Chain A
């Protein structure tokens, strides 16, 4: 679509449900590379780019998906605000063929507001294959909008869209609710395929996904496997480059190229193949539609820590990049769920920590794969532990549309991977390169700008004071302090810094393990802190970072202390706690015959009656015997029967729910 126009004459806004195909259409119209995925919530902010439709130059805007114009999530609020501020824009409502019925209220609302619009139907072939039938002309007549097909090819679509832009300058408003007759649109019956049954089976699904994750970790980390072989190849290449740089005559330039650029930057680039393999797995999981099934499967587990299954996408993204994962939390409806996920995300080992963990464990282990696996498992446990303590009230329940199962399109997967590679190269060429250049300069010159050894340099003087923080873990060296704090810029810098100054981790195994505990708990990089701050506020994000740093140091000191023979001091403590005298009333609460606790353990929900909080019975068991009968029919008011169960449910839906008999079925 080549243009002869010189100025933007119109604006086209892509609106529709999540996962309808808006971003795909955006890429087709503009030639852009907006992120696409088979998950609801890939586009989190408005994307805008110019495009030529026939002879018309337009600005195409891709909005995040909306289910409703009432704005439950941040994405929906962004989309609605954009639509309101661009009231003259042409709305291209993108709708999946199978979801047309539930999009009618949105279409009706736009027509009621008198918006210029056209309807684009996507995924038509899938709809027809499933047994559905539709008539585009009849739909257009019933809804009063022009209906375009996205399956006709780029040129056909472009011509139809240009005609729609020019032939429909202003449409009359529609006062009635749009209705589709059966002759115009006949959807197929819902199909529950065998694949759905397998992936959603609690046993098969759990085994399948755990095996998938284990296989990916094995491919990426295990010696002799794809990830390890690619990394070894990259390391060999950079070693050769370093040997070539040794032939440079000038000592300053030789040190810059060999020690600064090749050793520092190369130390990070060597891990690029493994990082890309991890992202490849995440993209496949998302594109195939398995991510939404995983969300439904894990909802029960996440509910125990106060989250819901929707958080699984953000948490899995956290294994790739914490900053990107923080942005995806905009798709979570509930503010409490968002805060829980944001506070717990930094503890998930991201791909940037991968080079550091491999370097640490390789320093004392021949095969670091099991240790790395334990590191990732420990990170996931800490993440869930933190999530269970942040925001004690439970998250909103799960409401999620399952994306259709499909074989990932190779072009989309390749484009997504290319996008991640581009992001990494940009980060490498800017932040990481600038950091290592600055590191080399500060570590190669003293205050009188004389070329000197690292121990006499400016950096050694500045970091000399910080090394005291790492003395308790046997790493009292200014280079370790500098490496640890360089991780705040980008976690990859830690590995590169050790490679630059020491050629690896130079301390003993106990120090390496203690440093890995520090790495697990320390705050994320500045990009992730910024993304988190945008969501929860700068003050909270900084406070969380400071607390995280203190906790990381304290935990690393404790681990080192235990490994250095301090265990004999700590192990008797649980025994002392068991033998210590306990509160008599605490014992009553733990009495296993206490009726509410017995019912709660058996999971009975019969007779769960909610009462206003003001009529709540006393929580302290010592007060229960004082003039209270415990009866719900007590004069003057009603009392709670099971206070702890009622509190949880009544918080979510603060109105009365009558007791009902739970009948088992299905």
Chain B
């Protein structure tokens, strides 16, 4: 059973993605937000900071272990935790 579980993990590597998120961007890359898959309150907070569908962002810095990301959006710099950054789906420009 342990071997079967390991195979399942290997297969999951090839699962179809929802799309790129902020965590997948390279530093300095500009991107457009395609979707924000987060609870409504967090979506509202991100929108208030300029991170919303159609908005342009740029990844400024990724902290070690991908724990925190610094993103430029709507003229300001925003620090995002990993869980929030992974909920913001983007498309590179």
Q: What residues make up the interface of A, taking CB atoms closer than 8 Å to B?
A: 17, 67-68, 70, 72, 98-99, 101-102, 105-106, 132, 187-188, 190, 192, 196-197, 200, 202, 292, 295-297, 299-300, 303, 308-309, 333, 396-402, 595, 599, 603, 606-607, 609, 629-633, 641, 649, 652-653, 657-663, 665-666
Contacts and interface: CB of A to CB of B under 8 A. Distances in A.
Nearest to A394: B83
Interface string B25-40: 1111100000001110
Contacts of A67: 45, 48-49
Contact of A397 (B9, B44, B64, B82): B82
Contacts of A187: 74-75
A80 to B, nearest CB: 13
Given A607-B12, A665-B24, A666-B59, A653 B83 contact: yes
B68 A666 contact: no
B89 to A, nearest CB: 10
B75 A308 contact: no
Nearest to B60: A192
A300 B49 contact: no
16 contacts: A98-B75, A190-B72, A190-B77, A196-B60, A396-B81, A397-B83, A398-B79, A399-B78, A401-B77, A606-B13, A607-B8, A607-B12, A629-B1, A629-B4, A653-B39, A665-B24
Nearest to B80: A399
A606 B9 contact: yes
A432 B1 CA distance: 70
A300 B8 contact: no
B41 interface: yes
B5 A641 contact: yes
Contacts of B21: 660
Given A68-B45, A333-B45, A397 B18 contact: no
A631 B4 contact: yes
Interface in B48-74: 48-50, 58-65, 67-68, 70, 72-74
Contact of B17 (A68, A192, A649, A660): A660
B37 to A, nearest CB: 8
B84 interface: yes
Interface residues of B, number: 61
B65 A399 contact: no
Contacts of A292: 79
Nearest to A301: B67
A99 B46 CA distance: 14
Nearest to B79: A296
A443 to B, nearest CB: 54
A300 B66 CA distance: 9
B18 A658 contact: yes
Contacts of A659: 12, 15
Contacts of A398: 68, 79-81, 84
A115 B27 CA distance: 43
Given A70-B41, A399-B42, A607 B79 contact: no
Contacts, number: 174
A107 to B, nearest CB: 12
B12 A606 contact: yes
Top 8 A-B pairs, shortest CB-CB distance: A397-B81, A607-B12, A190-B72, A67-B48, A666-B27, A300-B67, A398-B81, A296-B79
B45 A399 contact: yes
A159 B5 CA distance: 74
- For B11, B86, B87, the residue with the greatest tally of chain A CB atoms inside 10 Å of its CB is B86
B44 to A, nearest CB: 5
Nearest to A100: B75
Q: Which of A70, A603, A666 has the most CB of B within 10 A?
A: A666
A629 B1 CA distance: 6
Contacts of B24: 662-663, 665
Contacts of A653: 38-39, 83, 87
Contacts of A603: 65
Interface centre among A68, A190, A303, by most chain B C-beta atoms within 10 angstroms, is A190
B21 to A, nearest CB: 8
A99 B50 CA distance: 9
B78 to A, nearest CB: 5
Given A399-B81, A603-B65, A666-B26, A188 B17 contact: no
Contact of B67 (A17, A102, A303, A401): A303
Contacts of A99: 74-76
Given A98-B76, A641-B9, A296 B68 contact: yes
A233 to B, nearest CB: 43
Nearest to A632: B8
Contacts of B45: 67-68, 72, 333, 399
Contacts of B26: 665-666
B80 to A, nearest CB: 6
A22 B48 CA distance: 18
A121 B58 CA distance: 25
A632 B5 CA distance: 8
Contacts of B81: 299, 303, 308, 396-399
A295 B79 CA distance: 9
A192 B79 contact: no
B65 A595 contact: no
Given A190-B58, A299-B79, 18 more contacts: A17-B48, A67-B45, A68-B47, A70-B41, A72-B45, A98-B75, A102-B50, A192-B72, A292-B79, A300-B64, A397-B83, A401-B77, A609-B12, A631-B4, A641-B5, A660-B15, A661-B15, A666-B26
B72 A607 contact: no
B36 to A, nearest CB: 12
A606 B80 CA distance: 21
Contacts of A297: 63
Which of B12, B29, B38, B65 gathers the greatest number of chain A CB atoms within 10 Å? Answer: B12
B39 A630 contact: no
Contacts of B82: 397
